Chain A
Amino acid sequence: SQQGEEDPQALSIQEGENATMNCSYKTSINNLQWYRQNSGRGLVHLILIRSNEREKHSGRLRVTLDTSKKSSSLLITASRAADTASYFCATAGGRDDKIIFGKGTRLHILP
Chain B
Amino acid sequence: GAGVSQSPSNKVTEKGKDVELRCDPISGHTALYWYRQRLGQGLEFLIYFQGNSAPDKSGLPSDRFSAERTGESVSTLTIQRTQQEDSAVYLCASSWRTSGSKQETQYFGPGTRLLVL
Residues of chain B contacted by A97 (CB below 8 angstroms) = 50, 97, 101-103
Interfacial residues of chain A within 36-64, with CB under 8 A of chain B in the complex: 40-45, 48
Q: Flag if B35 contacts A101 (CB, 8 Å).
A: yes
- A109 contacts chain B at the CB level, 8 A cutoff: no
- A30 contacts chain B at the CB level, 8 A cutoff: yes
Compute how far the CA of A20 lies from the CA of B32 in the bound complex, rounded to whole angstroms: 30
Q: Flag if A100 contacts B97 (CB, 8 Å).
A: no
Number of interface residues of A (CB under 8 A): 23
Residues of chain B contacted by A107 (CB below 8 angstroms) = none
**When the two chains form the complex, which single residue of A40, A44, A92 contacts B102, counting CB atoms closer than 8 Å?**
A92
Q: Flag if B103 contacts A41 (CB, 8 Å).
A: no
**When the two chains form the complex, which single residue of B89, B95, B103, B110 contacts A30, counting CB atoms closer than 8 Å?**
B103
Q: Flag if B48 contacts A98 (CB, 8 Å).
A: yes
Residues of chain A contacted by B35 (CB below 8 angstroms) = 101
Q: A88-B42, A88-B43, A101-B43 are in contact. Are A96 and B106 (CB under 8 A)?
A: no
Residues of chain A contacted by B97 (CB below 8 angstroms) = 97
Q: Flag if A40 contacts B50 (CB, 8 Å).
A: no
- A13 contacts chain B at the CB level, 8 A cutoff: no
Q: Flag if B42 contacts A101 (CB, 8 Å).
A: yes
- A90 contacts chain B at the CB level, 8 A cutoff: yes
Q: A40-B89, A90-B106 are in contact. Are A99 and B42 (CB under 8 A)?
A: no
- A31 contacts chain B at the CB level, 8 A cutoff: yes
User: Shortest beta-carbon distance, A95 to chain B, in Å?
Assistant: 11
Q: Flag if A40 contacts B39 (CB, 8 Å).
A: yes
Q: A44-B108, A98-B56 are in contact. List 9 more A-B contacts (CB 8 A).
A: A30-B103, A31-B102, A35-B106, A42-B91, A42-B109, A43-B43, A45-B106, A100-B45, A102-B42
